Chains A and B, each alone.
Chain A
Amino acid sequence: MSITDSPPRAGTRTARRRRSSDRGFNRGFRWIAVGAGVLILVVLAAVALFLLWQAWPALTAGGDELAAEVPRFPADTSFLGYVGPLVFGTLLAAVLALCLAVPVAIGIALFISHYSPRRLSQVLGYLVDLLAAIPSVVYGLWGFLVLAPVLTPFWLWLNENLSWIPLYGGQASTTGRAMATVGVVLAVMILPIITAVSREVFLQTPKLHEEAALALGATRWEVVRTAVLPFGRSGVISAAMLGLGRALGETMAVLMIISPGFSYSLDILAAGQHQTIAAYIAADFPESTGLGINTLIAAGLVLFVITLAVNMTARWIVARRKEFSGAN
């Protein structure tokens, strides 16, 4: 995500009309460029097709056959019954991370776009982006060895005093390796992308709107509330969805922190209740053979479809918005 103005499209178009003498080179170069673009579409299609091809044996096998061949496959269920709790865990982790990250991310984006000293804003943006650059395995190490022990007393307190709230019910984990901790780590990991997209949108707020608000005697917060936030609403929504996409696919941090289980429980403080698709695949893949691998790839296909849907919705919102954001 970088900062930029709108593209110089108009000039390209005038350039297009020109004819040049060595058409061959021109055409060749053009086709190479087009080929690269098409290649990307092909790769995306290939990802879907290859996953489907490898997942097919598992998708078509009966529940009994899978139960016999695949460890941890519960008896008397179909593939859907098996992948259901995993999907639930994946969504729960992502939504939890989102709830924690979005308010903070909006704050940071506003800070960088409207509150921080002008000279510093770019550097501060880099700092937030650094959070995205840190490898997820390091988040995992940190989450398990450092963060979980620190959060445990807090989770226990929540469990003790607020257990009437459904999320805080159940038997709280004494090791902190529960969904709540995963949610916090994932929230940190998706902060940068939400911040970056929101920041872009906030910066695009029409200057006239802001100045008009100021002229009416609005304070800085009132400018933000009346001009910036309404303008950026759809951008923030799509930013949140992009963050959701990230959180859905995160593997290592979840794998290293969570104490897995397969249920539809909402008790985010309890251990052994949830597992995400990505972490499940990474945990079981090295020791799987035959149909076991097919089953894991089928789970991966489900994850792929979910993230694809979320990302496409997000991008669609962004794209739709672009068309009438010509207020500048």
Chain B
Amino acid sequence: MNLSRFTRAGSAVAVGVLALSLAACGSDPEPEGNASDTDAPGSSETNSGEEMGSISGTLSGGGASSQEAAMNAWRAGFQQANPDATVNYDPVGSGGGRTGFGDGSYAFAGSDAALDEDEIAAAEAQCGEGGVIEFPGYVSPVAVAFNLDGVDSLNMSPETIANVFLGEITSWDDEAIAADNPDVELPGTTITVVHRSDESGTTENFEEYLHTVAPDIWTAEPSGVWPVDGQESAQGTSGVVGAAQAGQGTITYADASQVGGLGTVAVGVGGEFVPYSAEAAAEVVAQSPRTEGTSDYVYTIELERDIAGTYPIVLVSYSLACTSYPDEETAELVKGFLGYVVSEEGQQASADAAGAAPLSDTIREAILPGIESISAG
């Protein structure tokens, strides 16, 4: 029981406290530090540019996790231009986003599927009659990617793709694949299909594609959950890409921007094979018709999966907002933020960060009036 023991213990505590207080001098990164390219958003031809820099407050949105990477870029770009503003986005899934938007806990939301009539009605209860804004803010090409030694690109018809993912075609040198790829020497490796294990808009979209282009083969109704049992799967885009890279003869579908070193499939569409490219993906959105019979500010599209020369597997993810908000601050934030999202630099930011296909000018023209109309009251 000698006293020095306690003074020694005391000094140990003091050292700990000191270490903690030293650690307590961290901060959020300085805006100037690493954002020189997005720091000067004042290009005056975009409508949003003029309002930048003056907006403050906190804005909360949530929804589709597919938008997360793009949303990070948008939030960063917007927050750097408006240092007093903070935008939060909860990647809670499309369903959670629509629910949160409907009960008012999210001022804006992201959804991988366009709202159906019931959902529009629910949203209008929150926003007021005709007050819902919906537009395809994030268009992401989905690549069919594979890991096969020495093969970078393969041609596959929609039927072949469906059969491969169903597990009907089990070997890479199957005749169906060989017929479309006369110049490629295909190994006899077994095909391992890797799909998303979590519920995802990417999965739903890919299923929808297969169901549309090969309805006889892919009979399962599209949902966010993969319908084939007993296949390899992984969590999230990174998970499937990682798993595909780890195995030989694997094939998967993933956000095109993230497939890294994997080979990609040139998809058969309208009688030719179109390899993935952001331009070809943007083209399918530009050429698909707008859904008819919706209110002015609801811009949804009917995706056409067989327009020649376009890349048909794209995930169209929508942004939701209201035309009026109870308070001035939220209205300003939503208006400014969504204005930035659809602006050229906003779309470029998401293209760089998430490999999104930028919106065409025509679509932007059609969307902007809705965003412009956002006001308080």
Residues of A within 8 A of B (CB): 71-72, 144, 148-149, 152, 171, 173-177, 255-256, 259-263, 265, 270-273, 283-284, 286-290
Partner of A175, one of B199, B235, B250: B250
Residues of B within 8 A of A256 (CB): 235
Interface range for B: 20 to 34
The 22 listed contacts between A and B (C-beta, < 8 Å) are A71-B199, A71-B224, A148-B246, A149-B246, A152-B246, A152-B247, A171-B190, A174-B249, A174-B250, A177-B232, A259-B194, A263-B229, A263-B230, A270-B230, A271-B192, A271-B231, A284-B199, A287-B91, A287-B93, A287-B198, A288-B93, A290-B99
Query: Could you tell me the distance in whole angstroms from the C-beta of B252 to the nearest C-beta in chain A?
Result: 11
Which residue of chain A is the closest to B99 with respect to CB atoms?
A289
A230 to B232, CA, bound (A): 45
Residues of A within 8 A of B65 (CB): 287
A176→B246 contact, CB < 8 A: yes
Partner of B198, one of A152, A265, A283: A283
B92→A286 contact, CB < 8 A: yes
Residues of A within 8 A of B95 (CB): 287, 289
A259→B197 contact, CB < 8 A: yes
**Interface presence of B243 (CB below 8 A):** yes
B96→A289 contact, CB < 8 A: yes
**Interface presence of B184 (CB below 8 A):** no
Query: Could you tell me the distance in whole angstroms from the C-beta of B369 to the nearest C-beta in chain A?
Result: 32
Interface residues of B in 185-203 (CB under 8 A from A): 190, 192, 194, 197-199
Interface residues of B in 203-246 (CB under 8 A from A): 223-225, 229-235, 242-243, 246
Partner of B232, one of A144, A173, A255: A173
Residues of B within 8 A of A263 (CB): 229-230
A-B contact count (CB 8 A): 87
A270 to B232, CA, bound (A): 8
Check A175/B243 contact, CB under 8 A, given A72-B199, A289-B95, A289-B99: yes
A149 to B223, CA, bound (A): 32
Query: Could you tell me the distance in whole angstroms from the C-beta of A313 to the nearest C-beta in chain B?
Result: 33
**Interface presence of B248 (CB below 8 A):** yes
A287 to B229, CA, bound (A): 22
A260 to B92, CA, bound (A): 21
Query: Could you tell me the distance in whole angstroms from the C-beta of B207 to the nearest C-beta in chain A?
Result: 13
Q: Which of B91, B229, B246 lies at the interface centre, i.e. has the most chain A CB atoms within 10 A of its CB?
A: B246
Residues of A within 8 A of B243 (CB): 175, 177, 259
Residues of A within 8 A of B223 (CB): 71
B247→A272 contact, CB < 8 A: no
Which residue of chain A is the closest to B195 with respect to CB atoms?
A272
Check A175/B246 contact, CB under 8 A, given A283-B198, A286-B92: yes
A203 to B225, CA, bound (A): 53
Query: Could you tell me the distance in whole angstroms from the C-beta of B66 to the nearest C-beta in chain A?
Result: 11
Residues of B within 8 A of A (CB): 65, 91-93, 95-96, 99, 190, 192, 194, 197-199, 223-225, 229-235, 242-243, 246-250
Check A287/B199 contact, CB under 8 A, given A175-B246, A259-B243: yes
A270 to B248, CA, bound (A): 15
Which residue of chain A is the closest to B231 with respect to CB atoms?
A272
A255→B235 contact, CB < 8 A: yes
Residues of B within 8 A of A265 (CB): 230
A175→B233 contact, CB < 8 A: no
Residues of B within 8 A of A149 (CB): 246
Residues of A within 8 A of B233 (CB): 259-261, 271-272
Which residue of chain A is the closest to B232 with respect to CB atoms?
A271
A284 to B93, CA, bound (A): 10
A175→B192 contact, CB < 8 A: yes
A63 to B98, CA, bound (A): 24
Residues of B within 8 A of A177 (CB): 232, 234, 243, 246
B99→A174 contact, CB < 8 A: no
Check A71/B192 contact, CB under 8 A, given A263-B230, A271-B232, A286-B91: no
Instruction: With A261-B230, A270-B230, A289-B99 given, name 17 new contacts (CB 8 A).
Output: A71-B225, A174-B250, A175-B232, A177-B246, A260-B197, A261-B229, A263-B229, A265-B230, A272-B230, A283-B198, A286-B91, A286-B93, A287-B65, A287-B93, A287-B95, A287-B199, A288-B96
Query: Could you tell me the distance in whole angstroms from the C-beta of B350 to the nearest C-beta in chain A?
Result: 21
Q: Which of B194, B223, B230 lies at the interface centre, i.e. has the most chain A CB atoms within 10 A of its CB?
A: B230
Query: Could you tell me the distance in whole angstroms from the C-beta of A88 to the nearest C-beta in chain B?
Result: 15
Query: Could you tell me the distance in whole angstroms from the C-beta of B112 to the nearest C-beta in chain A?
Result: 11
Check A283/B235 contact, CB under 8 A, given A174-B249, A175-B246: yes
B230→A273 contact, CB < 8 A: yes
Check A72/B225 contact, CB under 8 A, given A175-B246, A261-B230: yes
Residues of A within 8 A of B99 (CB): 289-290
Residues of A within 8 A of B197 (CB): 259-260, 283
Query: Could you tell me the distance in whole angstroms from the C-beta of A146 to the nearest C-beta in chain B?
Result: 11
Query: Could you tell me the distance in whole angstroms from the C-beta of B254 to the nearest C-beta in chain A?
Result: 15
Partner of B247, one of A174, A270, A284, A286: A174
Residues of B within 8 A of A288 (CB): 93, 96
Residues of B within 8 A of A176 (CB): 246
Query: Could you tell me the distance in whole angstroms from the C-beta of A268 to the nearest C-beta in chain B?
Result: 14
Which residue of chain B is the closest to A290 with respect to CB atoms?
B99
Residues of A within 8 A of B235 (CB): 255-256, 283
Query: Could you tell me the distance in whole angstroms from the C-beta of B106 to the nearest C-beta in chain A?
Result: 12
Residues of A within 8 A of B92 (CB): 286-287, 289
Query: Could you tell me the distance in whole angstroms from the C-beta of B250 to the nearest C-beta in chain A?
Result: 7
A260 to B231, CA, bound (A): 9
A273 to B231, CA, bound (A): 8
Which residue of chain B is the closest to A257 with respect to CB atoms?
B234
B192→A174 contact, CB < 8 A: yes
Query: Could you tell me the distance in whole angstroms from the C-beta of A246 to the nearest C-beta in chain B?
Result: 23
A183 to B53, CA, bound (A): 54
